Structure 1
Amino acid sequence: MPASSLVALSPQPLYVQIKETLRTRILDGTYAPHSQMPSEHELCAMFDVSRITVRQALGDLQKEGLLFKLHGKGTFVSKPKAFQNVTSLQGFAEAMSSMGYEIANQLRHFRMVKANRHIASKLDVPEGASVAEIHRVRLLNREPVSLEITWVPEVLGKRLANADLATRDIFLILENDCGVPLGHADVSIDAILADDDIVDALRVEEGSPVLRIERTTHDAHGAPVDYEYLYFRGDAFQYRLRVDRAKSRARARTQPGSAR
């Protein structure tokens, strides 16, 4: 694709057009994960542009996490990360299936346990009350991506015991099989180092960074129905969200006499 074609396709700067072209080829598999990209010299010839223009395009793609450099060896394609929008209350399979990924679950444990003080407070049940504890590994395109540890009140746990947890999201089972309309979730996100259970479940090295999601899901009336920890491989998954500027501040700036 020579420079003249790039200009004809878009009014954007050449390096932006090259970046978009290379991004498309990375995402559609033309440049496979961990494969080496053409050299700067080859890209200059390919697009008939200067090395500075090519470097701008590659630099932006590197900042986006689509490329990485190895000193003395060249530029390589990163393994793309799956992502989920944290601003929408969806189950993992519900979100990933809509993006074309193949989803499977490994049910590791399902047992009834006594709620400790922390779990009891999250589910709004007495300490020592019986709750269901569910451990599942979520597979994305047959690779382990997350470990889920979920607790639900006993009455819902008995319903989940007979459900197909190997192929279905708990959210969909609660809504469709148990008749529980979901309302909202309280979510916190941090990073931890993988312990033995996570190493075994996700096939990562001990001490490697893992994204941890703590989530309490409530029904439409505000009652907690599901408390869980979700552990995601940091090299394979990311959460995304959109953050808007507070409208009250924007209005304040337009009020007469608001500026000081």
Structure 2
Amino acid sequence: MSAPDSQDTRITPLTVPDDGMPQHFRRVVSFHPRGGRLNPVQRRSWDTHADAWYIEASDVVEGGFNAPEHFGRNAPLIVEIGSGMGEATAGMAANRPDINVLAIEVYKPGVAQTFYHLAKAGVENVRVMRGDAVEILEVLIKAGSVAEIWLFFPDPWPKTKHLKRRLVNPEFAALVASRLTTDGIFRLGTDWEPYAEQMMEVISAEPTLTNMHDGFAPRPAFRPQTRFERRGVTAGRAIFDLEFQRREL
């Protein structure tokens, strides 16, 4: 397997060089362009674990992600969108060893750092794919194949001029719903109250998703406190969780 170039410096919409990412991106995306240089710990983690835990998006046939093939077992498939540096991902996967977790992260250092945390925790039920989660869901993940989709602490894009970059919108809610199994669950969390309110409004309006609670959800017991969550609590912000379930009309 050829690893993406460790010196790539930005994610360019629509056209991406041979860096292991899908070849088409939306012009308006929900992530910041950032550097891709690996530190020594991340480089060692990539070199040690990428062959076993990394999945090249370009190697997956359109609409044909085969979870049992990549995980070596049959188990409920979970897709985590924006796994970041992977500390929380490793904790959640360790707390639920009966699931298969496909973690999607756009930044290579985050992917490599996730390998570090997985190895440190002795976690084997996670695979990581690098790319734009919207494109991966649209192109590579089969409809009705995912037991849960997680979106914890996405970029809130707080400035008014950037609101269009928020990931949660009606099109995204419909896409997520289409990928969930019947009774599949969409779990979200944010420490930005205006975004939490938008999430609630947008997802409540999707006819194939129903709120599992009367308003916001309790914190999932399996989710360790993330770095972003700790930062929000320190700043005095409340944490908002949401849980919606797929239903048949």
Specify the TM-score bucket, using the shorter chain as the normaliser. Answer: under 0.3
Length-normalised TM-score, structure 1 = 0.22
Instruction: Report the structure, 1 or 2, having the larger strand content.
Output: 1
The answer to which structure, 1 or 2, has the higher relative contact order (CA under 8 A, 6+ apart) is 2
Structure of higher CA gyration radius: 1
